[in-house]
Chains A and B, each alone.
Chain A
Amino acid sequence: MPSSQAPPAGHTASDPTAVRPDIADARIMRIRPAEVLDTMRALKREGFSMLLDIGGVDYLGREPDRFDVVYHLLKLPLTPATPEQVGAPERVRVLCSVPESDPTVPTVVALWPAADWAEREIYDLYGITFTGHPDMRRIQMPDDWEGHPLRKDYPLRGPARERTPRPSFALKSNVAAGTPASGKTAAALQRQIAQSRGRNEFHGAPDPAEAAQQAKHPGGTRTGGDAQPKELAERPVNLNQQQDGKQ
């Protein structure tokens, strides 16, 4: 096993599936969307009677197959059985790679009715369409929602909130690491810091009242709160420096 503190290496960064033979949690198969129906029929004949779950994963940047649709199957008896008869039923995990250019997978609703909501959820959250599904609608998000929230390029706070300017304070902290601080909290924190430094200017998101005041007194000290994350590297870390630089 590699050191747990070591950064990921090579292809595992974009495809970490089936790289850990030490975790023998299930038999793992990888297939293409065209093989889904045949594979699933064969597995069902083999006795995998229960479709436990279908999940989606977005490996953004993996070429050419950006998405994975993951089927978890379980071999259960179809008649009453004691715990001894059930034993430790076999598990199989089927990973289906789905290309971004054609995100469609045939449905397995005909084999397992349990797939109905699971497939709708993947359609809703990842935008992968299941062909032949009787009712391919959104399930979790409102019907008129735009975008597919669990895609990695979908902003965490949603597109609407992502467009609102971020306080510069929030941008500095750990956006690069992936955690955007909530606007309100960051603004409050920054106000606190500014106060403790004996200044009353505020580097936060534009507050309407404040914006009005800014308009009256142009050339104020407020720095832009709507900087893009790519500017992060150039941003000075120290609040004082940053302020001086902008002036």
Chain B
Amino acid sequence: MSAGTSVAPEGMLAMDVVERSDNRMVLSMGPQHPSTHGVLQIMTEIEGETVTKASPEIGYLHTGIEKSAENLFWSQASTVIERMDYLSPLTNALCYYLAVEKLLGIDTQIPRRAQQIRVLMSELSRVASHCVWLGTGGIDLGALTGFFYAFDIRERVLDLYEMSGGARMHPNYIRIGGVAQDLPAGFLGQLDHFLKTYDERMHDLRALLQKNPILQDRMIDVGIIECEDAVAWGITGAALRATGIAYDVRKAYPYSGYEQYQFDVPTRTEGDAYARFLVRLDEMDESVRIIRQVRKHLDEPGAWQIPDTKFAPPPKETIALSMEALIHHFKLVSESFRVPPGDVYQAVEGPRGELGYYVVSNGDNRPWRVRTRPPSMYNLQILKKIALGELIADMVVMIGSLDPVFGEVDR
């Protein structure tokens, strides 16, 4: 084959370029590479060990979730939406429901306890999600021990998910107008245990990883993102805050009562992989700080769902006794509720950055359009820029430090 040509048709990926005249080589990384954290393919052009061009190819996990959501009832759509960012399903469901509640005009009526539980759950999600990033990111760099410590913390959170919603991965616990049920008996005890053990485990984790000279060598000054680039490329979340811009949706546009809690927005100014690593570690501590504040309020009982049975199902025990309740229950299950026409953009701070939902209703009982603003997709995109001139071995570090989740990138 002649130099620099491919056998693939115009516009298709050239998979079989093996020989080039200019000492460069095209290497396909993924989509089955374990360090790509899912199914990412990166067509890299390398000269020696230096990356001269990197073009990530996504779409291997495209499941048409947005299309599915358009064909489900408003309340059913959250089941597929939770499967986008499968590492923090509750954040996705929360964002979607906040948008729907705004369209319904009930966003000011959500009971206090429901909001507290929502905050608790999204912060727990953040901790669990960052644990996966920390564990797998460590494995990428050969630090296998950290994985077990991180996943131990995550297991405790998944136990809490399981108690609250019945499932470990996709609890579907957050519902329209509140949550699915009150926190079950024994939940708070388990939560206290988690909070008690967290500090010590995090201390161990930091001792293992943060000051580890090998990790520092691999991460410091790798994949540097400048402030201006970060903004232009739409980077949000920890990757943006690692460049110094303290944009956090929880502070900027508080939702679910985040304005009541004391927490800091950790920032660094270096913008490299190590800065992102430190920001995320600090974020976990801030999340636990919020959880501790929420925990103080959770002892007093209260309503966990709006009383309006047009949207939230009536309590189970009333269904057999009240005709009204039975009718409402039947209507909710068989044709769900209608949402007044309108469009809304709602953002929350997900573990990966600004997670947004642009929801359009045309007045039907199904959403007309549910558009996700996937933070991982925009964060991942900058790989095209930051990988240039870096070593091919550092590509793994950069992907890990951007923390993409492919359920969300590809949807």
CB < 8 Å neighbour of A18 from B269, B311, B343, B366: B343
A86 part of interface (Cβ distance < 8 Å): yes
Closest chain A CB from B44 CB (angstroms)? 16
Q: Are B341 and A16 in contact (CB under 8 A)?
A: yes
Q: Are B252 and A117 in contact (CB under 8 A)?
A: no
A214 part of interface (Cβ distance < 8 Å): no
Q: Are B72 and A179 in contact (CB under 8 A)?
A: yes
Q: Are A114 and B246 in contact (CB under 8 A)?
A: no
Closest chain B CB from A244 CB (angstroms)? 28
B239 part of interface (Cβ distance < 8 Å): no
> Which chain B residues border A116 with CB–CB below 8 Å?
381
Complex alpha-carbon distance, A81 and B227, angstroms: 10
Chain B, 51-72, contact with A by CB distance < 8 Å: what is the 0/1 string? 0000000110010101110011
Of the four ranges (under 10, 10 to 19, 20 to 34, 35 or more), the interface on chain A belongs to: 35 or more
CB < 8 Å neighbour of B104 from A4, A25, A56, A117: A4
Complex alpha-carbon distance, A55 and B378, angstroms: 13
Chain A, 227-241, contact with B by CB distance < 8 Å: what is the 0/1 string? 000000000000000
> Which chain B residues border A93 with CB–CB below 8 Å?
345
**Docked complex: B104-139 residues within 8 A CB-CB of A:** 104-105
B142 part of interface (Cβ distance < 8 Å): no
Complex alpha-carbon distance, A175 and B13, angstroms: 39
Q: Are B356 and A83 in contact (CB under 8 A)?
A: no
> Which chain A residues border B64 with CB–CB below 8 Å?
149
Q: Which of B72, B345, B360, B377 has the most CB of A within 10 A?
A: B345
A209 part of interface (Cβ distance < 8 Å): no
Q: Are B385 and A113 in contact (CB under 8 A)?
A: yes
Query: Which DSSP category, helix, strand, loop or mixed, fits chain B's interface?
Result: loop
Q: Which of A5-13, A164-172, A192-200, A217-225 contacts B (4 or more CB under 8 A)?
A: A5-13
Query: B385 — nearest CB in chain A belongs to which residue?
Result: A113
Chain B interface residue count, CB cutoff 8 Å, equals 68
Complex alpha-carbon distance, A146 and B283, angstroms: 44
Q: Are B368 and A141 in contact (CB under 8 A)?
A: no
Q: Are A16 and B245 in contact (CB under 8 A)?
A: no
CB < 8 Å neighbour of A79 from B105, B244, B265, B267: B244
Q: Are A80 and B227 in contact (CB under 8 A)?
A: yes
Q: Which of A55, A85, A113 has the most CB of B within 10 A?
A: A55
Complex alpha-carbon distance, A78 and B105, angstroms: 35
A19 part of interface (Cβ distance < 8 Å): yes
B361 part of interface (Cβ distance < 8 Å): yes
B30 part of interface (Cβ distance < 8 Å): no
> Which chain A residues border B103 with CB–CB below 8 Å?
20, 23
A82 part of interface (Cβ distance < 8 Å): yes
Q: Are B371 and A81 in contact (CB under 8 A)?
A: no
A178 part of interface (Cβ distance < 8 Å): yes
A80 with B360, Cβ < 8 A, contacts A112-B232, A113-B233, A156-B67 known:
no
Q: Are A82 and B246 in contact (CB under 8 A)?
A: yes
Chain A, 128-166, contact with B by CB distance < 8 Å: what is the 0/1 string? 000000000111111100000110001010000000000
A215 part of interface (Cβ distance < 8 Å): no
B338 part of interface (Cβ distance < 8 Å): yes
Complex alpha-carbon distance, A113 and B368, angstroms: 29
Chain B, 360-373, contact with A by CB distance < 8 Å: what is the 0/1 string? 11111110110101
B251 part of interface (Cβ distance < 8 Å): yes
Chain B, 201-229, contact with A by CB distance < 8 Å: what is the 0/1 string? 00000000000000000000000000110
A26 part of interface (Cβ distance < 8 Å): yes
Q: Are A7 and B338 in contact (CB under 8 A)?
A: yes
Interface residues of A (CB under 8 A from B): 1-2, 4-9, 12-14, 16-20, 22-23, 25-26, 49-53, 55-59, 70, 72, 76-83, 85-89, 91, 93, 112-114, 116-117, 137-143, 149-150, 154, 156, 177-179
**What are 10 A-B interface contacts by the 8 Å CB criterion?**
A16-B362, A16-B368, A17-B360, A22-B105, A49-B232, A77-B245, A80-B269, A82-B246, A83-B251, A150-B67
The 7 closest A-B pairs by CB, nearest first: A80-B244, A8-B363, A114-B234, A20-B342, A55-B371, A16-B341, A53-B373
